[in-house]
Amino acid sequence: MDPFLRPAGKGGHGSDDKEETPVLQFLAQNHSAMTHLPTASAVLAAAAAIALLFVSRKELSWFCAVLCITAFVTVLPTLVTGIAAAKGRFNEEGKPFIQGGFIVENIPANAQIRRHQILGISGTVVAAFLAWFGVASLRGRSPNRYLLVLLTVLLAILWAVGGHIGGQELWGPATFPAFG
């Protein structure tokens, strides 16, 4: 197989002897790209929520609300593409992380990606609350500022740690062989 199609440390997308499903393949290939949108929205929302403790500006409150809604909306395709990626990648035992359904199998070989999935989904629940706050804020209500900071910072941490674990699964020492 072309090393550019399977550069990662542990697994690769798809399998050599199976016919690959084009839609799943497309979704799986776009998980990495999609992850930037919710993660960046969460980090910027946390920064805006912290700034709101010190500066009471309508524009800042609007910015924070829009980011909270964006984090939730953009994590939905991220979850879908994540499931596709977990179906298309092999664990150390040579089996897909998800063999059936939508949840990573609970076996030791899947521990990292299972942790990644739990953090991603937990963040999605937090993001749903924040999106609700965001809509309320755009309709003229003012959510508690301290609660907003707590939830946005929690969300940024959940996805930062979860994303880091996902990246460890994708980028291994063999990814850049020229570095030796």
Residues that bind ligand HEM (CB under 6 A): 31-32, 35, 38-39, 75, 78-79, 82-83, 85-86, 89, 97, 104, 113, 116-117, 120-121, 123, 159, 162-163, 166-167, 169-171
Cβ atoms of residues 51 and 145 within 8 Å = no
Closer residue to ligand HEM in complex, CB, 65/89? 89
- In the complex, the smallest distance separating the C-beta of residue 83 from ligand HEM, rounded to whole angstroms, is 5
- In the complex, the smallest distance separating the C-beta of residue 55 from ligand HEM, rounded to whole angstroms, is 28
Cα separation of 152 and 49, whole Å? 7
Closer residue to ligand HEM in complex, CB, 143/163? 163
> Angle at which helices 58-88 and 111-138 pack, to 10 degrees?
150
Cα separation of 171 and 155, whole Å? 24
Smallest CA-to-CA distance from 142 within 150, 132, 133 is with 133
Closer residue to ligand HEM in complex, CB, 63/112? 112
- In the complex, the smallest distance separating the C-beta of residue 76 from ligand HEM, rounded to whole angstroms, is 9
Smallest CA-to-CA distance from 121 within 88, 86, 169 is with 86
Q: Which residues pair with 96 in a beta bridge?
A: 90
Closer residue to ligand HEM in complex, CB, 55/111? 111
Closer residue to ligand HEM in complex, CB, 120/143? 120
- In the complex, the smallest distance separating the C-beta of residue 149 from ligand HEM, rounded to whole angstroms, is 20
Closer residue to ligand HEM in complex, CB, 68/104? 104
DSSP track, 133-180: HHHHHHTT----HHHHHHHHHHHHHHHHHHHHHHHHHH--GGGSGGG-
- In the complex, the smallest distance separating the C-beta of residue 93 from ligand HEM, rounded to whole angstroms, is 15
Reading the block at residue 52, the tokens are: 């709101």
- In the complex, the smallest distance separating the C-beta of residue 102 from ligand HEM, rounded to whole angstroms, is 7
